[in-house]
Structure 1
Amino acid sequence: MHKVRGIHHITAMAGHPQRNLEFYTGVLGLRLVKVTVNFDDPETYHFYYGDGLGQPGTILTFFPWQRALAGRAGVHQVAIISLAIPLESLGYWMHRLMEKGVGYEGPQRREILGPHGLEEVRVLTLRDPDGIVVELVAASGVPAIQHWAGAPVPEECAVRGLFAAQMWVLRAEPSVRLLEGLGYRVLGQVDAITYLGPSEEEPSLGRIEVRETDQFMAAKGGVGTVHHVAFRVPDDETQQALREQLQRQGVRVTAVQDRQYFRSVYFREPGGVLFEIATDTPGFTHDESFEQLGTSLRLPAWLEPVRAQIMQKLPAIPYATPLPAQTPGQVSAASSEE
């Protein structure tokens, strides 16, 4: 059976690019792994953040539109992004957020449904500079990541990846059924939230929480909102099989789009949330070495002839600093929490 392997990335819309960079790299300690442009609007940046190598499952991406109107979170949209941190790092993160002047709520003790039943986690809830709700979920058993030299957060405390995305819909059942068809399994339901996780062979991250609610207005796209959530597949064959499966179910799916670092198809699930299925390959070292990730503006071949014009339109930003040579394949055992 062809199935997705969890979340590949989440894409959202931001305002000022510098504020976005400072928050996600300077506060949360993610690595800027790619600076490119919105292929459909080349006068807008597209930032990719993740672990040291930009592995699928760790990636947050943003379109910063300085002059765009603010959006509104609501139904038909992913409303909450949850990032995993090691349980033992909770105190570090409370101190770091206070030191950086970032307000937060918590830590809240929360029982959630995971692959092995009820799990107790601690949650810090904050908002990014544009108002997107970001949760830091302190949990045991979080997986290893690829760290990198010069990271602003110690390896033992670093964000481990995308814990979950919470989507708000008017009726949960059709959305849950579609996710099951993609390979997710229902972990259970608590109150109005249905918890789903990737298949048993996959890590415990990359979960989806489907909240059924009629207490919120419809979402309005714009700055400070999530644009879409992308699910990961290992190859083009799996993507094509899932695309055909969705089409047989009457879902309108786009043709394959070449996003330079992965290939994508898009569709709206029954609750109105925009989904993407993205390949793990070729990855972010397709056009930059591990050490050079995020250090320059990368453009696809068809935009290179107009690079000068594009750069004139884009606001100046500080790029990442090149890293000393190292072996990206090595992942420290200290990154894995028992």
Structure 2
Amino acid sequence: MLNQIKGLHHVTSMASDARRNNEFFTRKLGLRRVKKTVNFDAPDVYHLYYADEFGTPGSVMTYFPFPDIGKGRHGVGEVGTTVFSVPEGTLGYWEKRFADEGVSGVARETSFGEKRLTFTGPDGDSFALVEDKADSRAPWIKGGVPGDEAIRGFHSVALRLKDGGATEELLKFMGYEEVDKSGNVRRLAIENGNGADVVDIESLPGAGFANLGAGSVHHVAFAVEDRARQLEVRKALVDTGYGVTPVIDRDYFWAIYFRTPGGVLFEVSTNEPGFDRDEDTAHLGETLKLPTQHQHLRPYLEQHLQKLED
């Protein structure tokens, strides 16, 4: 069993409109946009990062807003719900805020003994807030949400799979342990993590497969401290039979990718070098940052990319 992984690093999803996506996460959820860059493989598409003040691993929600992309179809073989952590006793605040902001799909529920508020994003993305009194992570406090109510980071992701058994074994190999079960959902968690420590696996043998599009999660990334630990994880996965990509420089972290038995794309990302490598912490996410190979496109991109509110 591996011990290098320390919880979630980031979750990356698809969107259909950059301006609407930016407004939802910065204005309605009160997160900080910590980076405004472009997709490495499609530089005419933004890659937007939302997080806490520093872009701390375990708090980073990222998006590829492909203009006018078709809406995704939810099903098995995907991350079904992305769950954020909020302080105990704050769901009432968020319920009112969502009503005032016109957020859809809002409902209260209890899962694994935790109070939750489910809601949907602008493209039908599935989200939830969970009250967690033990979460001591510091929030971003300049996004219009008071610090006592603000999002702390991720609580968990919920994988929706036709058969969760093989993916559960993979997560156990990665250092997770089963800590609870409720119906057809198994909960796994990692000890001594970064606060974003939980993965739920929902098995739905009769459900149809998901189709990637706007509102779909593209991949979920797990955090390791540095490149040395990442290489250890990569070797262990390859030795176990997984097809893992070479290490890829993503400017703000180093990444490897592999497909799980259940069909979900996993990434393992380093905590280094971080989002302040090319911007001062006080000004994260304010200017368009481009990968080296796309610098020559700056005049075109600055003219053609959709303008975003700061």
Give the shorter-chain TM-score range: over 0.9
Partner of 1:210: 201
Q: Write the letter of the residue equivalent to 1:244.
A: K
TM-score by length of 2: 0.96
SS in 1 for 2:148: helix
**Residue 125 of structure 1: aligned partner:** 118
Select 2:188's aligned residue among 171, 192, 196. Answer: 196
Q: Taking structure 1 as the reference length, what is the TM-score of the superposition?
A: 0.88
Instruction: State the partner residue of 1:164.
Output: 156
Counterpart amino acid of residue 211 in structure 1: E
Superposition pairs of residues 290-301 of structure 1, within 5 angstroms? 290-301=281-292
Gap change, CA 1:204 and 1:57, over 3 Å in 2: closer
- TM-superposed CA distance for 1:203, in Å, is 4.9
Asked whether the equivalents of residues 197 and 205 of structure 1 are also in contact (C-alpha less than 8 Å), the reply is: no
The equivalent of 2:67 in structure 1 is 66
The aligned counterpart of 2:130 is 137
**Farther off after superposition, 137-146 or 186-195:** 137-146
Q: Distance in 2 between matches of 1:165 and 1:32?
A: 21
Whether 2:240 is the aligned partner of 1:243: answer no
SS for the counterpart of 1:92 is helix
2-side partners of 1:251 and 1:264: how far apart? 15
Q: 1:84 aligns to what?
A: 85
Q: Distance in 2 between matches of 1:276 and 1:262?
A: 11
CA RMSD of aligned residues (A): 1.3
| Counterpart Cα distance in 2 of 1:316 and 1:147 | 23
Query: For 1:14 and 1:103, how far apart are their aligned partners in 2?
Result: 16
Task: For residues 10-34 of structure 1, give each alpha carbon's deviation from its aligned partner in whole angstroms, at most 9, with x where no partner exists.
Answer: 0000011111011111101000000
What pairs with 1:1-338 in structure 2 (closer than 5 Å)?
1-110=2-111, 112=112, 120-148=113-141, 150-199=142-191, 201-318=192-309, 320=310
Contact 2:4 2:225 in 1 (8 A): no
**Structure 2 gap ranges (5+):** none
- One-letter code aligned to 1:163: H
TM-superposition CA deviations, 1:179-210 (whole Å, max 9, x none): 111111111222111101112x2255331111
Deviation string 1:44-91 (CA, Å, 9 cap, x unpaired) is 000000001110000000000112111111111101111111112122
Distance 1:68 1:102 in 2: 21
Comparing 26-35 with 139-148, which one deviates more in the overlay? 139-148
Q: How many residue pairs were aligned?
A: 309
Identity value in percent:
36
